[in-house]
Amino acid sequence: MLEFTSERLFFLKLFNPFGVEKEGSDFFMKDDQFIKAFIDNYNRIFNYTGGQDLQLMLSLASKYTLAKRQFSGVALEKVLERIRNKGKNSLPVQLELRTGYKLAYHLLWHEDMEKEVQNIIVKDGMLNQARFKKSAHRIIGALFLQQNQLEHAQRAKRLFDEMNRNQRILTSKEDIPYAVFLTTDSNEQPKKQADTILKYYNDLRSNHFTMGNHLQALAQIMTVYSSDYNKLLLQYVVKLREELLERGVKVRKLHYPYLGVLALAATEESKMDEISSLYHHLIKEKIFNNGKDYALIVAIQKIVKDALEVQNLIDITSLTNIIELFDLVEFVLDIGPVFPSGISEVIDFFN
């Protein structure tokens, strides 16, 4: 059980950016309502896409359902056409199918889509000036770059280089979006942050977490609020994983970054019960027959989003961090390799 007594209270004060939860909120759907709406959106997406990519369908169904919106292929297609434009004012790389759809969803809710596309192009140019190599990962990193901040891009490159020095084989293009996200604060020191990431990574390995890119992502997320090493935070992440396992929830490597989000949201025991309950309901649905691992991602997103919506906000910046983290993790998850990319992951793949 999540019993930290005085340490637990200290952790909540340190990391939880929210106030007391409101009772009786009608802002969110009950599990059965959510599942019904989720299946409806999934079926609409299946008909629109032809059912060729299960992960994409589940991801989009989750996004639309959590936003309390009904999927519209017509609206999304208009945005996709803009992204696929090969004219002068276009993105510097052609995006893979999943990433294109996710970026289209991101752009769909902007009042001036053309302006937002140009903002992404400009910010990608700054990452280019900072000497990040051209890739889809760099485009995603541009989403999290501060407006017209070349200094931010250069700070992100310094962090990326420091991570590369610490773990040369493991650090790759997948880490570019994280490097950008983690260096928003100009006071952060890239070397210190990279060293803390490495320490979290090694200590998590000592607590039976599997090595690889997903574990590095978790270690990076753990430095969002502070680059100072925090043993209590480490213990909390380990405990969150144990709590899920004790509830019969299968925790895979791809879930590691979401454990970091749960920790930063100061997820309490009652919320872990809700996540477990929704997960077990979801995996009984036919659409999750071949996507049980994604069911946990959906459950975490739904319960954490509910918690955020019914709490009195103290620090809106911290709230934004958590919401953006979900987007970041999913973008990188979608454009990550189908097969293991680093030597450490190859070893794990064959074990």
Per-position DSSP letters for 185-202, written without gaps between them: STT--HHHHHHHHHHHHH
Residue pair 309/28 in contact by the 8 Å Cβ criterion = yes
| Selection from 291, 297, 331, 2 nearest residue 177 by Cα | 331
Q: What is the pLDDT of residue 52?
A: 85
User: What secondary structure letter does DSSP report for 295?
Assistant: H
Please state the rounded mean pLDDT for residues 52-57.
91
State the pTM of this model: 0.86
DSSP-H helix ranges across the chain: 5-15, 31-49, 54-66, 73-83, 97-108, 113-129, 136-143, 150-166, 176-182, 190-206, 213-221, 231-246, 256-264, 269-282, 292-309, 316-335, 343-350
Q: Which two tokens stand for residue 136?
A: 């889809």
**% of residues, the chain, pLDDT over 70:** 82
Residue 177 belongs to what H/E stretch?
helix 176-182
What mean pLDDT value characterizes the chain? 84
| Selection from 95, 97, 88, 188 nearest residue 142 by Cα | 95
Please state the rounded mean pLDDT for residues 129-151.
92
Please state the rounded mean pLDDT for residues 226-255.
96
What would the pLDDT profile of 91-109 be if each residue is shown by its tens digit?
888 888 888 999 999 999 8
Distance, in Å, from the CA atom of 65 to the CA atom of 55, rounded to the nearest integer, reads: 15
User: What secondary structure letter does DSSP report for 255?
Assistant: G
What would the pLDDT profile of 165-198 be if each residue is shown by its tens digit?
999 888 999 999 999 999 998 888 999 999 999 9
Q: What is the pLDDT of residue 15?
A: 45
Q: Lowest mean pLDDT: which of 38-47, 67-76, 202-211, 306-315?
A: 306-315
Q: How many angstroms separate the most distant Cα atoms in the chain?
A: 59
CA angle 65, 262, 207 (to 5 degrees): 135
Report residue 299: phi and psi, to 5°: -65, -45
Residue 20 has pLDDT above 60, yes or no: no
Residue 240 has pLDDT above 70, yes or no: yes
Q: What is the pLDDT of residue 266?
A: 82
Distance, in Å, from the CA atom of 100 to the CA atom of 112, rounded to the nearest integer, reads: 18
What would the pLDDT profile of 198-218 be if each residue is shown by its tens digit?
999 999 999 999 999 999 999
Q: Lowest mean pLDDT: which of 67-71, 102-106, 144-148, 174-178?
A: 144-148
What would the pLDDT profile of 282-337 be if each residue is shown by its tens digit?
999 999 999 999 999 999 999 998 887 766 444 445 556 678 888 899 888 754 43
Q: What is the pLDDT of residue 109?
A: 86
Distance, in Å, from the CA atom of 323 to the CA atom of 259, rounded to the nearest integer, reads: 14
Q: What is the pLDDT of residue 84?
A: 81
Q: What is the pLDDT of residue 177?
A: 95
Residue pair 205/347 in contact by the 8 Å Cβ criterion = no
Please state the rounded mean pLDDT for residues 40-47.
96
Q: What is the pLDDT of residue 112?
A: 87
Q: Lowest mean pLDDT: which of 242-246, 287-291, 312-316, 341-345?
A: 341-345
Please state the rounded mean pLDDT for residues 228-237.
96
Residue 23 has pLDDT above 80, yes or no: no
- Say which amino acid occupies 284: K
Q: What is the pLDDT of residue 342?
A: 37
